[in-house]
Amino acid sequence: MVRGLLGKLASRSLSIAGKWQQQQLRRLNIHEYQGSDLMSKHGINVPRGVAVSSTEEVRKAIKDVFPGEKEIVVKSQILAGGRGLGTFKSGLKGGVHIVKTEEVEDIAGKMLGQILVTKQTGPQGKIVNKVYLCEKLSLVNEMYFAITLDRTSAGPIIIACRKGGTSIEDLAEKFPDMIVKVPIDVFKGITDEDAAKVVDGLAPKVADRNASIEQVKKLYNLFCACDCTLLEINPIAETSDNQLVAADAKLNFDDNAAYRQKEIFALRDTSQEDPREVVAAKADLNYIGLDGEIGCMVNGAGLAMATMDIIKLHGGTPANFLDVGGNASENQVVEAFKILTSDDKVKAILVNIFGGIMKCDIIASGIVNAAKQVSLKVPVVVRLEGTNVDQGKRILKESGMTLITAEDLDDAAEKAVKASSG
């Protein structure tokens, strides 16, 4: 839920380039059960729970983890929000259920291996490979808590709201005074005064104030120690025994910290990602799949976004963001073409290279070799400019390939749009 709110807090840019720029940022996203486990290790109160991937594991968990429990919460695990209001393609309504213990195996069995569609997954949905079984807590109050990075204050910012468990975006729009934002000095760290402001924003009714302040400090310390870009709990709740509990766990991590957060990054679930993006990452390519019909291969993020903008200007729609970078090898260019041609929606490919560090002859050789390995069934528009451009054009000309050449970016985009609709 926080994505919409935090997007408004961080930037109100609505340009096409801005949207793709935000999408290009790669951040590890982990499942709720993994986030809860991480929080527990940092001293944060979480419900007792266990993740299972089969009905056999469900039976064992009920016996070993929940003996005597009358009701259990069954949560489908996908890397997308809106699970509670989602619908399985099998017809089952809701990805989160509170059921009697004797019904847990049945409902979990109906979730496992099925596709759950939510407002965040798109119509294709995501497969549920695990469900998270949690104890049913007696909650007396639900609130909202998040930590993210704020450009304005150039550091972490904690967001709190005395109402939670529902759409935070709607609350922020209708009742902006309910949203409390506390920027944290990244050099000083969180102080008791900062944590107290957050607790005041949460306005707990029964939880001990000092204990709540300590929980907020532990959450901030986790955020920093684990290189998080987002920590969201909706709801953070009060229980009937006067405890503040993280009844949800949404955590993202900075990919730049992968080298020092090896245990956390080992939690990555590639089954929840676009397989093309997984292949691209292995080839050290920056790729993001979109919904259009013109595949793009460009060097440099800025040029890639400009290319997508001008495609839109001429009435087309980009099928992807693909930046081969400044030092791409011939093999990487081949891999890039394989990824582009694996998308059935692609009706034309636009190669737009400005040769600086990336030489045009390397790109040209990669295109030729890719054509030999991949069955190119769609038109390819090529615009080359810069270092070794003449050698690159000669390689393409002597290859015997049927290519559409362009003199400049405007010409290339116009030809690509025409080729995709022809």
Structural tokens at position 166: 């529902």
Using DSSP, state whether 349 is helix, strand or coil. Answer: strand
Q: Which residues define the annotated binding site?
A: 75, 82-84, 142, 234, 248, 299, 356-358
Q: E strands within 26-166?
A: 27-29, 49-52, 71-77, 87-88, 96-100, 115-117, 126-127, 130-135, 139-150, 155-161
Q: What is the DSSP string of 106-125?
A: HHHHHHTTPEEE-TTT-TT-
How far CA 185 is from CA of 145, 155, 157, 159, in Å, comes to 18, 7, 9, 15
Rounded CA-CA distance 282/285 in Å is: 8
The answer to whether residue 144 is catalytic is: yes
Structural tokens at position 209: 């104030």
The answer to whether residue 232 is catalytic is: yes
List all residues 6 or more positions away from 177 whose beta carbon is below 8 Å from its beta carbon: none
Q: Which residues define the annotated binding site for Mg(2+)?
A: 234, 248
Rounded CA-CA distance 273/121 in Å is: 11
Burial class (CB in 10 A: 0-12, 13-18, 19+), 93: exposed
Could you tell me where the DSSP H helices lie in 248-402?
Answer: 262-265, 275-282, 301-313, 330-341, 360-373, 389-398
DSSP 271: G
H or E element at residue 254: strand 250-254
- List the beta bridge partners of residue 400: none
Q: Which residues define the annotated binding site for ATP?
A: 75, 82-84, 142
Amino acid (1-letter code) at residue 349:
I
Rounded CA-CA distance 233/183 in Å is: 18
Kindly name the residue from 105, 232, 277, 414 that is annotated as catalytic: 232
Kindly name the residue from 144, 277, 287, 293 that is annotated as catalytic: 144
If one counts every other C-beta atom within 10 angstroms of the C-beta of residue 260, the result is 10
Catalytic residue IDs = 144, 232
